[in-house]
A and B are shown apart, each in its own frame.
Chain A
Amino acid sequence: MRETFTKGMARNIYYGGAVFFFLVLIGLTVDTVNRLPATDNRENLTEEVAAGKRLWEINNCIGCHTLLGEGAYFAPELGNVYTRFGESTEAIKAFIKFRPVDGIEGRRSMPQFNLTDEELEELAQFLKYVDGIKTARDWPPNIQG
């Protein structure tokens, strides 16, 4: 690099830029969090949904599925599964409940998690709540996720 551009100038750009944009990120974060009530479907965030989220976590569902596009790409997107399953929590529950223990020969298969009926209901309610989150442009692009 040219001599006129000194190390001191480079250092100042680093410190100045880092501090400035970190503050910008904090400011935007505050604003984003303040706007969340309009989109994050918190009115439907019940105890049951919270319990469902915990089940979602402790069974590592994200290890195969995406949820709002984040996760693994081995199994279908579940952010809109409630819509895709005809807005039926019963259909979601039945799908999870009847997974064969030993899988399906030659095919990908979801494990049998042996959830109780109560747990199935919680998990289904969680997925219904996620479906109610207002994502920008109503992502995903279509019902297939």
Chain B
Amino acid sequence: MKYESQGVAKLYFIAAIALFVGQILFGVTMGLQYVMGDFLFPEIPFNVARMVHTNLLIVWLLFGFMGSAYFLVPEEAERELFSPMLAKVMFWIFLVAGALTILGYLLVPYARLAELTMNDLLPTMGREFLEQPTITKIGIVIVALAFIFNIGMTVLTGRKTVINLVLLTGLVGLAVFFLFSFYNPDNLVLDKYFWWFVVHLWVEGVWELIMASLLAYVLIKVTGVDREVIEKWLYIIIAMALISGLVGTGHHFFWIGTAAYWQWLGSIFSALEPIPFFMMTLFAFNVVNKRRRDHPNKAAVLWALGTAVMAFLGAGVWGFLHTLAPVNFYTHGTQITAAHGHMAFYGAYVMVVLTMISYSMPLMRGQKAANETAQKIEIRSFWIMTLSMVAITLLLTGAGVMQVYLQRYAEDALPFMVVQDELAIFYWLREVAGLAFLTGLFMYIYSFFAKGKEVADVA
């Protein structure tokens, strides 16, 4: 760690991992509710568990992105963070606001929460992933602005690297597109159309800029490959991400009452969306093969390669699977979507944050890399979590194919709930895979505390 202020990242990463545990606990709860419908009913109905599951994911990824930025930006800019104090204050504000929101979901009925937070003044609640009370949304904007100010001042007054500028662009985009969450017209079609300006332009747009820059940073650090080469890759990857992803938003506009031409535009452009992810995989393996040093942090290298591969599979391949309009006609809103969502989020965003944590945590703890035992456990947790996620994805895909056939394709289509009963075996196995994932996560956390032989300093 070159600059003392990089250390604020540690707070963010610890919070991120703690919330990650919460996310998975609610995930396995929901998984069980899929097959034992009355589990925890009516105390924690499915909709509440799901809201907690998805909102915790978003919040902990944001903590992860912010922590990553605080670690990476000073080093790239070759100066201390503009204001470490502001970073710490914003951390506590964000954590308390996030915790209160989650407690609100769990402790009072959602309609009561809407009333308590005066949703009527500016109704924004109750839309998927944007369930936060309006007041929380305003808090998110304030935290994001303070964060971007802090990072922006550091970037602009320091050395301007491509990584820093791309990361900053991604973060500004994240904040700007979030503003669409305040637009909630009564007209459902309009509401849905612009809802995607947050959701799609985040995960298939500006978040890819953040992801690619984090990955590029870690790869420079662990391989020692020339910055010029890595920056060229970075530009071309994010170019493809935006060229395909912006109009690719159209794959969400097939069946929501918007013009029919979106079926063509959405299909064509979103069919290109796997390209940046494929390039990311080529990029990662290419630079690791051309590495000029063997970094002692083997776990971080594995996470970086894993991110590229799993993002390509989850976001690229599983996205393509159902993105063409004639296919999507049958698969839209089925377990196929759930399968894609799980692997894409894990592969792209969860893993890139864990890559950053894996690389930076030892440095913030005064080591070059975690000790040998700790790395061994971390690597094992990588495989358990990743393979569990592959299993979850395959099982949900199986469930989805069967659901599509029975409920949408067959001559005598069956009602939704009848079909769900037929899928029970897939859901049970998915629950087992979910518990395996949770085990891997606990092992991952244990790796931070494991004692063992220090790594040889070959870097």
Bound-state Cα–Cα, A67 to B38, Å: 23
- Chain B residues with CB under 8 A of A59: 110-111, 126
Question: Is B256 a contact of A73 with CB atoms below 8 Å?
Answer: no
B18 on interface, CB distance cutoff 8 Å = no
- Chain A residues with CB under 8 A of B265: 28
Question: Is B239 a contact of A10 with CB atoms below 8 Å?
Answer: yes
Partner of B192 from A68, A72, A73 at Cβ < 8 Å = A68
Known: A60-B110, A73-B338, A139-B329. A36 touches B189 (CB 8 A): yes
Q: Which of B106-161 contact A (CB under 8 A)?
A: 110-111, 114-115, 119, 123, 125-128, 131
B366 on interface, CB distance cutoff 8 Å = no
Bound-state Cα–Cα, A137 to B265, Å: 16
- Chain A residues with CB under 8 A of B115: 58
B233 and chain A: residue at smallest CB distance: A1
Question: Is B189 a contact of A133 with CB atoms below 8 Å?
Answer: yes
A110 and chain B: residue at smallest CB distance: B45
Question: Is B239 a contact of A13 with CB atoms below 8 Å?
Answer: yes
Known: A1-B233, A103-B41, A142-B408. A39 touches B257 (CB 8 A): yes
**Chain B 333-345, CB within 8 Å of chain A: the 1/0 string?**
1110110000000
Number of interface residues of A (CB under 8 A): 77
- Chain B residues with CB under 8 A of A22: 242, 246
Number of A-B contacts (CB under 8 A): 234
B332 on interface, CB distance cutoff 8 Å = yes
A94 on interface, CB distance cutoff 8 Å = no
Question: Is A113 a contact of B255 with CB atoms below 8 Å?
Answer: no
Known: A62-B128, A69-B255, A73-B334. A144 touches B407 (CB 8 A): yes
B328 and chain A: residue at smallest CB distance: A69
A50 on interface, CB distance cutoff 8 Å = yes
A18 on interface, CB distance cutoff 8 Å = yes
A130 on interface, CB distance cutoff 8 Å = yes
Known: A60-B126, A60-B131, A108-B46. A1 touches B257 (CB 8 A): no
B421 and chain A: residue at smallest CB distance: A107
Partner of A58 from B114, B332, B338, B415 at Cβ < 8 Å = B114
Bound-state Cα–Cα, A5 to B37, Å: 57
B458 on interface, CB distance cutoff 8 Å = no
Q: Which of B234-272 contact A (CB under 8 A)?
A: 235-236, 238-240, 242-243, 246-247, 249-250, 253-260, 262-263, 265
B80 on interface, CB distance cutoff 8 Å = no
Q: Which 10 A-B pairs have the closest CB atoms?
A: A63-B47, A57-B126, A69-B333, A108-B37, A10-B235, A139-B255, A14-B239, A76-B416, A40-B189, A58-B114
Query: Contact residues of B with A, CB < 8 Å?
Result: 30, 33-34, 36-38, 41-42, 45-48, 50-51, 110-111, 114-115, 119, 123, 125-128, 131, 162, 184, 186-190, 192-193, 228-229, 231-233, 235-236, 238-240, 242-243, 246-247, 249-250, 253-260, 262-263, 265, 329-330, 332-335, 337-338, 407-409, 413-417, 419-420
